[in-house]
Amino acid sequence: MTRHSLAKDKIRVLFLEGVHQSAVEEFRRNGYTQIEQLKVALDEAELIEKIQGVHILGIRSRTRITDKVLAAANRLLTIGCFCIGTNQVSLNTARKAGIPVFNAPYSNTRSVAELVIGEIIMLLRRIPEKSRACHDGAWDKSATNSFELRGKTLGLVGYGHIGTQLSVLAEAMGMKVRFFDIEKKLALGNAQPCATLEELLGVADVVSLHVPSTPQTKNMFGAEQVKAMKPGSYLINASRGSVVDIDALAQGLKSGHLLGAAIDVFPKEPASNGEEFVSPLRGLENVILTPHIGGSTQEAQENIGLEVAEKLIKYSDNGSTVGAVNFVEVSLPVKAGGTRFLHIHSNVPGVLRKVNEVFSQSELNISAQYLQTDPEVGFVVVDVEGAVDETAVLQQLQEIDGTIRVRFLY
């Protein structure tokens, strides 16, 4: 069995926001014992305190990993986002601090797509208000403003993992599909691209948003876009709360221009269950409001737990950064025997030469070397053979100008 420099029972793992048990089990299976689980997200001040001494941090979409949190993280090796979105992490700062961030880009996409299909049917049949009326003892049988989805046009904004799955499901149910994406995308089935968002808004009966949170998508859907939607159409947002100007949407619904909406994500979401949810959409007719549960199914959470845990463990045990969203990707074989060092440095000329000098001056034979760089950060993994004075090598590597962090792995 490989002897790791830092014994696994010394590596502290902290999971926030109810990360699924599958992640905990995967860590335990791999020999990690110091695992703390919290159900809640922590705010910046709480996290600054809690992160001291933590080596591996697991979060979901609610915990903000700010520059201040990263500055306080005195032992942090890596972060796992047990979700798709990574906009909650200050990725650039983490990268420059030599902290790879991993996520699960696929595991909950089907859950979101299924929810949206269900919502389209519910909205087109005005089920939210009919159900509410029945619960209140009213009997309001009417076909007014109730429609089949067959033959209607679904407009997808963002044709990535979720958008494309929706495309296939919606077509199977008889919808026409149009999409708008800033990247050129392969159209599945009979789906047709739109050249602009405006074009899409002019033809879609239901618009569903599936873009990431970026500076470009911030408030990309405001009063102008609501107005450009077809009269009597519907808006669905299960992407990020920053994408839609919620006041403009409320106005569009109150005026009757839109016949309904299903919103899962909000500009301001309660930090924990139990905190009041405040939104101008509350109480509006034919509006489905859900508490950011697009990806919250048992299947998705279990798969995400496993997927992200595997990536974190691979990095911690082996140095592999495959799947990192903010870091150069290095895929590494697990070596039986030998010694492995990781050196993360500023990408300036001469660092690699100095790294190699450390090994040659110590008369150590380098059996393999893996290097990847981005314009600012370089990551080199060095496998050496023979008897090694790890402490001396580590110290010399640390002294090289431009070194961000060094690890002796095993």
Ligand X SMILES: NC(=O)c1ccc[n+]([C@@H]2O[C@H](COP(=O)([O-])OP(=O)(O)OC[C@H]3O[C@@H](n4cnc5c(N)ncnc54)[C@H](O)[C@@H]3O)[C@@H](O)[C@H]2O)c1
Q: Which residues bind ligand 3PG (CB under 6 A)?
A: 60-62, 83-85, 108, 292, 295-296
Which of the ranges 3-11, 18-26, 152-160, 373-381 carries the binding residues for ligand X, by CB under 6 A?
152-160
- Shortest separation between residue 350's beta carbon and ligand X, angstroms: 37
- Shortest separation between residue 323's beta carbon and ligand 3PG, angstroms: 15
Residue 299 bears catalytic tag: no
C-alpha distance from residue 176 to each of 25, 123, 192, 273, 308 (Å): 43, 17, 9, 38, 35
404: part of which helix (H) or strand (E)?
strand 403-408
Instruction: Choose the one of ligand 3PG, ligand X, none that binds residue 210, judging by a C-beta under 5 to 8 angstroms depending on kind.
Output: ligand X
Q: Which is nearer to ligand X, 217 or 286 (CB)?
A: 217
- Shortest separation between residue 376's beta carbon and ligand 3PG, angstroms: 26
Given the residues 114, 199, 269, 385, select the one marked as catalytic.
Answer: 269
The length of the chain is 410
Q: Which is nearer to ligand X, 119 or 310 (CB)?
A: 119
Question: Is there binding between residue 210 and ligand X (CB under 6 A)?
Answer: yes
Nearest residue to the partner ligand X, using Cβ: 160
- Total residues binding ligand X (CB under 6 A): 32
Q: Which is nearer to ligand X, 52 or 219 (CB)?
A: 219
d(CA 376, CA 37): 34
Q: Which is nearer to ligand 3PG, 292 or 340 (CB)?
A: 292
d(CA 377, CA 321): 14
Q: Which is nearer to ligand 3PG, 152 or 292 (CB)?
A: 292
| 8 Å CB contact between 302 and 20 | yes
Adjacency order of strands within the sheet including 377-385:
365-373, 377-385, 339-346, 403-408
Q: Which of 8, 300, 318, 261 is nearest to 119 (CA)?
A: 261
287: part of which helix (H) or strand (E)?
strand 287-289
Q: Please give the single-letter amino acid code of residue 313.
A: I
Position among 163, 252, 305, 319 found at the interface with ligand X (CB under 6 A):
163
Question: Is there binding between residue 323 and ligand X (CB under 6 A)?
Answer: no
- Shortest separation between residue 407's beta carbon and ligand X, angstroms: 31
Instruction: Choose the one of ligand 3PG, ligand X, none that binds residue 60, judging by a C-beta under 5 to 8 angstroms depending on kind.
Output: ligand 3PG
- Say if residue 183 is exposed, middle or buried (CB neighbours under 10 Å; 0-12, 13-18, 19+): exposed
Which of the ranges 36-44, 96-104, 145-153, 207-215 carries the binding residues for ligand X, by CB under 6 A?
207-215
- Shortest separation between residue 322's beta carbon and ligand X, angstroms: 18
Q: Which of 67, 72, 68 is nearest to 50 (CA)?
A: 72
Position among 19, 79, 84, 156 found at the interface with ligand X (CB under 6 A):
84
Given the residues 12, 178, 292, 343, select the one marked as catalytic.
Answer: 292
Q: Report phi then psi at 318, rounded to 5.
A: -130, -20
Which of the ranges 25-33, 74-82, 104-112, 275-283 carries the binding residues for ligand X, by CB under 6 A?
104-112
Query: What does the DSSP assignment read for 332-400?
Result: -PPPSSSEEEEEEEE--TTHHHHHHHHHHHTTPEEEEEEEEE-SSEEEEEEEEES---HHHHHHHHHTS
Q: Which of 284, 287, 239, 297 is nearest to 114 (CA)?
A: 297
C-alpha distance from residue 128 to each of 134, 285, 290, 322, 358 (Å): 10, 8, 12, 44, 68
- Shortest separation between residue 115's beta carbon and ligand 3PG, angstroms: 11
- Shortest separation between residue 160's beta carbon and ligand 3PG, angstroms: 12
Q: Which is nearer to ligand 3PG, 286 or 296 (CB)?
A: 296
Residue 292 bears catalytic tag: yes
d(CA 264, CA 277): 12
Q: Which is nearer to ligand 3PG, 87 or 373 (CB)?
A: 87
Residue 178 bears catalytic tag: no
Q: Which of 371, 322, 325 is nearest to 351 (CA)?
A: 371
d(CA 175, CA 172): 7
Question: Is there binding between residue 171 and ligand X (CB under 6 A)?
Answer: no
Q: Using CB under 6 A, list all residues that contact ligand X.
A: 84-85, 108-109, 112, 157-163, 180-183, 210-214, 216-217, 220, 238-240, 264-265, 292, 294-295
Q: Which residues are catalytic?
A: 240, 269, 292
